[in-house]
Amino acid sequence: MFFFYNLLLACAAVLSLPWWVFQMRLRKYRSGLWERLGSVPARLKNTRPGAIWVHAVSVGEVLAVSQLITELQLKYPDRQILVSTTTATGQSLARERFGPDRVFFMPLDFGFAVRPYLNVLKPHLIILAETEFWPNLLHLAGKRGTSLATVNARISDRSFPRYRLFRWFFGRVLSEMDLFLAQTAEDADRLRAIGAATERVRVSGNLKFDIRPSSQFPFVNDLRLAISKDSPVIVCGSTAEGEEGALLEAFRTVQGQFQAAIMVLAPRHPERFEKVANLISTAGFALQRRSLWSPQQPVKAGIFLLDSVGELAAVYALADIAFVGGSLVPSGGHNILEPAQYGAAIVTGTQTFNFREIVSLFQKGDAIRIVTAETLGSQLLALLSQPEERKRLGGRAKDLFARHAGATLRTLDALGPLLARQKRDGL
């Protein structure tokens, strides 16, 4: 089976080579190219056998596992903890959070790229955040006796049919895993349905409920001081292609009654920063950019473009209202827990299938407002016009966030037996 998987992977790589070359000419995927192809960076070559390797795809996963990594380091001070990411934005944030000496790009799932990392790092445990089931990595690590766990696991509505269709393949791949820690009971059921062994699947909760404000962003305090107390702040985070136009029209409606209002607009992908800046200027709004702003400047009424990486979660602390993007278009939405922890009044679109359980929980608790592009402006205006209702909405969100914390400690306890047992190769 793995022979055919590798054959298909090689064919796909050859056929898609022109596309990859084009993307790299645009500077996309160029970061960490040699690391991705199996060249282990010198900074990792003194890693002691028995390390813990944590893989977090991008910014959201890095944030989710941050507290878990902190707790693992406290409980196992003699273990080296290494962190890999797939995206450049995730890499940047991981280096800020954990230090550049132990962060690297995940190798591509080819045997020639994976083996050098297993040879050098000799990990005792590999932890995969959410659902990163790379067949060669799991197979080659499992053959060496490396313990394998996935934490904060979820199977999205979009992915589930595909996984189930190829259950005959994924059942073999997932047999390498020692432990699956799912976000919800539904995710646990879906893991079993695609081939995970029942006795290895547990529900531990969502690590994102344990994300706490970072103290690494003094910029946020500077921004708070630069905003007039008379200016209501709407933070629109992780916006996707096709959403900014609707958000700007909604903000035009808001400014009709609240002329001092400020919208902090944070596109999801850095490569769209310039395009969104041009859209804002063309629409006639006053624009300030995070990349050009200094603490000596007051933040004026209009749009403040957050053209930076990793700061959004902390900036939600400034929000009277938080719109969470990727939800007016069929992208599946993004993490509403980031603004919830601060008690912001949360607004999101209807396309939130990637966060179905969390959004459903907040809907049942009357802690979120669901809008369409057409109703967005009137909903923002209603919340700004009714400050007491807005505060109650944010308060309910904050209470729900606090009530569902604890996944990190449950995850830590569940990983304990894997770290305590002896590896077959004696490491």
* CB atoms near residue 296 (< 10 Å): 7
How many residues make up the chain in this entry? 427
The conformation of residue 333, written as its DSSP 8-state character, comes to: -
Q: In this structure, what token pair is assigned to residue 138?
A: 């799991």
Concatenate the DSSP letters of all residues of 366-390 into one string: T--EE--TTTHHHHHHHHHH-HHHH
| Angle at which helices 2-15 and 135-143 cross, to 10° | 140
Candidate list 35, 61, 244, 311, residue with the active-site label: 61
Tokens of 63: 């944030």
pLDDT digit string (tens) for the chain, length 427 residues: 666 776 777 777 667 667 656 666 655 566 788 999 999 999 999 999 999 999 999 988 998 999 999 999 999 999 999 999 999 889 998 999 999 999 999 999 999 999 999 999 999 999 999 988 999 999 999 999 999 999 999 998 889 999 999 899 889 999 999 999 999 999 999 999 999 999 999 999 999 899 876 656 789 999 999 999 999 999 999 999 999 999 999 999 999 999 999 999 999 999 999 999 999 999 999 999 999 999 999 999 999 999 998 899 999 999 999 999 999 999 999 999 999 999 999 999 999 988 888 999 999 999 999 999 999 999 999 999 999 999 999 999 999 999 999 999 999 999 999 999 875 544 4
| pTM score | 0.77
SS3 93: helix
Residue 167: CB atoms within 10 A of its CB come to 13
- pLDDT attached to residue 135: 92
Per-residue pLDDT at 427 = 43
Rounded Cα–Cα distance for residues 8 and 69 (Å): 35
Q: Are residues 291 and 204 in contact, defined by beta-carbon separation less than 8 angstroms?
A: no
**319, 295 contact by CB (below 8 A):** no
Distance CA 348, CA 300 (A): 25
Among 121, 124, 109, CA closest to 44: 121
3-state secondary structure of 131: coil
pLDDT at res. 426: 41
* Tokens at 319, concatenated: 């929000």
How far is C-alpha 182 from the geometric centre of its chain's CA atoms?
16
CA dihedral 136, 68, 66, 227 (to 10 degrees): 150
3-state secondary structure of 148: strand
CATH number of 218-403: 3.40.50.2000
Q: Judge whether 132 counts as a catalytic residue.
A: no
The torsion defined by the Cα of 56, 57, 63 and 65, in degrees rounded to 10, comes to: -20
Within 147-271, residue ranges assigned H as helices are 160-165, 167-174, 185-193, 218-226, 244-257
DSSP line for 27-71: TTT-TTHHHHTT---GGGTTPPTT-EEEE--SHHHHHHHHHHHHH
What ranges make up the beta strands (E) of 98-252?
A: 103-105, 125-129, 147-153, 179-182, 201-203, 233-239
Whether the CB-CB separation of 115 and 138 falls below 8 Å is answered with: no
Q: What's the rounded Cα separation, in Å, for the pair 149 and 133?
A: 10
Q: How far apart are CA 108 and CA 132, in angstroms?
A: 12
CA distances 97 to 85, 150, 209, Å, are 13, 21, 18
The pLDDT value recorded for residue 70 is 95
Contact 298, 266 (CB under 8 A): no
- Domain-wise residue ranges, the chain: 25-205+406-420, 218-403
- 268/237 Cα distance (integer angstroms): 7
Residues sharing a CB contact under 8 Å with residue 377, sequence separation 6 or more, in sequence order: 249, 250, 251, 252, 253, 254
pLDDT at 10: 73
Q: Which CATH architecture has domain 25-205+406-420?
A: 3-Layer(aba) Sandwich (3.40)
Are 25-205+406-420 and 218-403 the same fold in CATH?
Answer: yes
Separation CA 174–CA 192 (nearest Å): 10
Tell me which DSSP letter residue 299 carries.
Answer: B
pLDDT of amino acid 216: 65
Pairing of strands 262-267, 233-239: parallel
Q: Give the pLDDT score at 73.
A: 96
* 101/41 Cα distance (integer angstroms): 10
Q: How far apart are CA 106 and CA 319, in angstroms?
A: 35
